[in-house]
Amino acid sequence: MIGWRRTALDALGSETFDLVVIGGGINGAGIARDAALRGMRVAVLEQGDFASGTSSRSSKLIHGGLRYLEHGHLRLVLEAARERERLRRLAPHLVRPMRFVFPLYAGMSLRPWMLRVGLWTYDVLAGVRDVKRHRMLRAGAVAALEPSLRREGLRGAGEYWDCWTNDARLVLETMLSALQAGAVAVNYAQVVGFEKVGGWVAGVRVRDRVDGGAVSVRGRAVVNAAGPWGDQVNALDTPDQPARLRLTKGVHIVVPRARIGHEAAIALQAVRDRRVMFVIPWETHSLIGTTDTDHVGGPDAPPTVEPSDVAYLLETVNHYFPQARLGVDDVVSTFAGLRPLVAPPPGARTSPSDVSREEEIVTAASGLVMIAGGKLTTYRLIAARVVDRAIDVLRASGDARRFAASSTAEAPLPGGRVPPETLAADLAARDGHGLSPEALRHLTGRYGGRAVEVLALLARDRGLGAPLLDALPDARAEVVASVEAEYAMTLEDVLRRRTQVALFDPTQGSAVADAVAALMAPALGWSPGAAQAAVDAYAAARAAERRRWR
Ligand code: FAD
């Protein structure tokens, strides 16, 4: 067994933790970090890879949520807009401002004055304005800024600013910070039951999904941050409870940006049902999404991308960008995620898009604290509230210790102490480890200050500075860093969440799976046979996904 995993599992089996967190998505990572920074002894258990659930399948926006104004969810927008500013300061490499254009066309029920009022409110709610204010644009100005947009019927646009992130890496850095603060976190470790004393939750039973072993983890308080699996985990505590969650599926597709020719992120009303969707510039590509449909089959039925999902998204893009003429063959990659939304009251006939995005924190009679719903954007704030609740649980069980107040509002993420541009320029001014300025910008953009840790690997082997694929910036050193410093266990962990090869490469990284497995093998102790089996399984899974939506 790998060293870090053995140490972590030993600690899990032998200590009593102040807080056990079930789930290593953005909420679990945020809660673990908040609690560990307050001085609590924390354990995190994740059944798959960190961020492998919803938290790597989002639209990647750190945003106030303009759309929620329409539904009157002012508190949500206010908190989200303020969190956006805060995260930008705490993780400038991961949370970056992005310009949005919302074009208005003849026949749309959204009138220019409505959009103006909405954007004005949005600016006001954001309070401190690091991100720029909105402006309204006439049709001519829109055409000059975004010449590929449909001209016919164009009335003007609202231009505003939100932020953009790398969701999987936001989770990872939050988790790394929790670990630095003393938490123990293990991926591929599934909670399969609860330990109770007098009806009170006193720990969890865990199955190690790597070697099939079992361990019981004692915890004075336990949080269910299992996202879409939240009801399933609640059922392990008290069977036959009514569902708290409604799961809806959201699909995104990735296409080459040059085919669309947009500069800003574009907010569009879907042709078919007028839902708002986005075309977001993502390096050399565009991220298009999302759909919003009810998911059947529960969280263990993986959300799949269907031909109808791809057609829905392409239809709208092709309508508003008539020269794009995108077809299914132009789609480079796709992904689908499940929104763990708080279920509306029984009997309410609410469409998926109208279900509230607000979160709920619930403490069960057993003391189990559950976080339901929420957004990537507000995770830091919600985590602090969940930890307060967990401390209430400790108090209720007679634990009178005092813990510090939450400090995450002022504590940068590990890579966030230096602006990435400053670091890239500094590194280039020194020898830059022989890398080009673009390669240095890529690394500092992804890792922030932690880029120096990745670069340190080049001292071992200069060849690690080379990219995995000519067309993409992801470096071989990143694979080694993934397994040695970021807890990656599988090819998918590396290619989809530590790097983004699977999202930008038309083979989803299958073409380089051999090389990646060879780089991973020493740290994971893979034999040549095990490495080949991993490559084959990875390629087969990607081919099956592709066959499904094509
Ligand atoms: P998850 O990320 O799913 O994490 C829960 C984890 O618990 C999983 O990794 C799972 O494996 C683990 N788990 C489950 N059961 C067990 C068990 N028994 N033992 C151990 N581990 C377990 N938000 C934004 O702010 N901006 C956006 O642009 C945005 N876009 C979105 C687009 C889509 C299509 C979707 C679906 C969501 C979007 N969201 C967005 C919302 C946001 O992504 C989610 O609210 C957030 O990621 C949920 O995080 P989570 O930690 O609760 O769930």
Give CA separation, 225 vs 236, 263, 331, in Å: 14, 37, 33
- What per-residue confidence (pLDDT) applies to 129? 58
Most ligand 1 atoms within 8 A of CB, residue of 229, 279, 295, 379 to mutate: 229
Residue 222 in contact with residue 201, Cβ under 8 Å? yes
- Over its C-alpha atoms, the chain yields an Rg (Å, rounded) of 23
Is 547 or 66 the better-scoring residue by pLDDT?
547
Burial annotation 422-461 (CB, 10 A radius, 16+ → b, else e) = ebbeebbeeebbebeeebbbbbbbbbbbbbbbbbebbeee
Residue found by looking up tokens 């898009």 in the block = 353
Query: CB of 233 closer than 6 A to ligand 1?
Result: yes
295 Cα: distance to centroid of ligand 1 (angstroms): 15
pLDDT surpasses 60 at 213: yes
Cα-to-centroid distance, 6 and ligand 1 (Å): 27
Looking from the CA of residue 236, the nearest atom of ligand 1 is 18
Substitution site in 26, 27, 50, 54 for ligand 1 pocket (most atoms within 8 Å of beta carbon): 54
What is the C-alpha to C-alpha distance for residues 53 and 207, in angstroms, rounded to an integer? Answer: 18
Decide which of 430 and 526 is more confident. 526
165 lines ligand 1 (CB under 6 A): no
The arithmetic mean of pLDDT across residues 366-376, rounded, is 96
DSSP H or E run through 221: strand 214-224
Question: Residues 232, 303: contact at Cβ < 8 Å?
Answer: no
Which amino acid is located at 493 in the chain? D
In the reported structure, the alpha carbon of residue 108 is separated from the centroid of ligand 1 by a whole-number distance in angstroms of 33
Tokens of 144: 């000059």
Greatest C-alpha distance within the chain = 70
Amino acid identity for residue 139 in this structure: A
pLDDT of residue 264: 98
Q: Where are the beta strands (DSSP E) in 85-199?
A: 96-105, 135-138, 154-164, 184-186, 189-197
- What is the pLDDT averaged over residues 534-543? 98
Write down the pLDDT at residue 356.
76
Distance 15 CA to ligand 1 centre (A): 28
pLDDT of 474-488, one tens digit each? 999 999 999 999 999
Distance CA 257, CA 493 (A): 25
pLDDT, one tens digit per residue, over 147-160 is 999 999 999 999 99
- H helices within 397-462, ranges in order? 420-429, 437-447, 451-460
Q: What is the pLDDT of residue 485?
A: 97
| Mean pLDDT of the residues in the chain | 95
pLDDT at 128 over 70: no
Going by alpha carbons, the residue nearest to atom 18 of ligand 1 is 191
**What distance in Å separates the CA atoms of residue 429 and residue 424, rounded to the nearest whole number?**
9
Domains of the chain, CATH where assigned = 3-54+169-243+355-396 (3.50.50.60), 95-161+246-346 (3.30.9.10), 420-549 (1.10.8)
Q: Is 203 in the pocket of ligand 1 (CB under 6 A)?
A: no
Testing ligand 1's pocket by substitution, the residue of 353, 375, 379 carrying the most ligand atoms inside 8 A of its CB is 375
Mean predicted confidence (pLDDT) in 449-473: 95
Distance (Å, whole) CA 514 – CA 307: 30
Q: What is the pLDDT of residue 499?
A: 98
Joined together, the tokens standing for residue 318 give: 């092709």
Q: Token digits for 457?
A: 């690997």
Q: Is 250 in the pocket of ligand 1 (CB under 6 A)?
A: yes
Report residue 354's pLDDT band, with 50, 70 and 90 as the boundaries: confident
Classify 321 in phi/psi space as left (phi over 0), alpha (psi -120 to 50) or beta.
beta
Tell me, in angstroms, the distance from the centre of ligand 1 to residue 530's CA. 30
Atom 50 of ligand 1: nearest residue by CA position? 227
pLDDT computed for residue 390 by the predictor: 98
27 lines ligand 1 (CB under 6 A): yes
Distance CA 17, CA 37 (A): 14
For residue 451, the CA-to-ligand 1 centroid distance in Å is 26
Report d(CA 368, CA 384) in Å as an integer: 16
The pLDDT tens digits of the residues spanning 401-446 come to 999 999 999 999 999 998 999 999 999 888 888 899 999 999 999 9
Name the region of 508 (left: φ>0; alpha: ψ -120 to 50; beta: rest). Answer: left
Q: Any idea which residue has 């190690």 for tokens?
A: 208
Residue type, 6: R
CA–CA separation, 368 vs 361, rounded Å?
10
The rounded distance, in Å, linking the Cα atoms of 53 and 21 is: 15
User: Is the CB–ligand 1 distance for residue 54 below 6 Å?
Assistant: yes
Q: Are strands 42-45 and 184-186 parallel, antiparallel or unpaired?
A: parallel
Using one digit for the tens of pLDDT, what is the confidence trace for 152-197? 999 999 999 999 999 999 999 999 999 999 999 999 999 999 999 9
Q: How far is the CA of 27 from the centre of ligand 1 (A)?
A: 7
Distances (CA, A) of 154 to 99, 141, 149, 159, 269: 19, 11, 9, 14, 13
Q: Which residue has the tokens 């922030």?
A: 448
pLDDT in tens, 244-292: 999 999 999 999 999 999 999 999 999 999 999 999 999 999 999 999 9
Mean pLDDT for 327-348 is: 92
26 Cβ inside 6 Å of ligand 1? yes
> Which two tokens mark 35?
């609690």
State if residue 287 touches ligand 1 by the CB under 6 angstroms criterion: no
166 lines ligand 1 (CB under 6 A): no
Q: At a CB cut-off of 8 Å and minimum separation 6, what does 325 contact?
A: 318
Nearest 5°: the CA angle 63, 64, 69 is 135
Q: Is the CB of 339 under 6 A from ligand 1?
A: yes
Ligand 1 atom closest to the CA of 45, numbered from 1: 20
Question: Is the separation of the CB atoms in 41 and 210 below 8 Å?
Answer: no
Tell me the best of 33, 45, 55, 84 to mutate to test the pocket of ligand 1, counting ligand atoms within 8 Å of each CB and taking the most: 55
The residue whose C-alpha atom lies closest to atom 37 belonging to ligand 1 is 58
| High-pLDDT (> 70) share of the chain, % | 99
Give yes or no for residue 442 CB within 6 A of ligand 1.
no
| 190 pocket-lining for ligand 1 (C-beta < 6 Å) | yes
What average pLDDT does range 381-395 have in this prediction? 98
Q: Element (H or E) spanning 312, and its range?
A: helix 307-320
Which residue from 484, 406, 418, 486 is spatially nearest to 33, judged by alpha carbons? 406
pLDDT band per the 50, 70, 90 thresholds, residue 522 = very high
Q: Cis omega before residue 290 (within 30°)?
A: yes
Q: Ligand 1: which of 275, 376, 380, 496 to mutate, most ligand atoms within 8 Å of CB?
A: 376
Q: What is the mean pLDDT of residues 89-111?
A: 94
Helix (H) or strand (E) holding 7: helix 3-14
30 ligand 1 Cβ < 6 A: no
Task: List pLDDT tens digits, range 18-61.
Answer: 999 999 999 999 999 999 999 999 999 999 999 999 999 999 99
β pairing state of 360-363 and 369-372? antiparallel
CA 225 to ligand 1 center in whole angstroms: 9
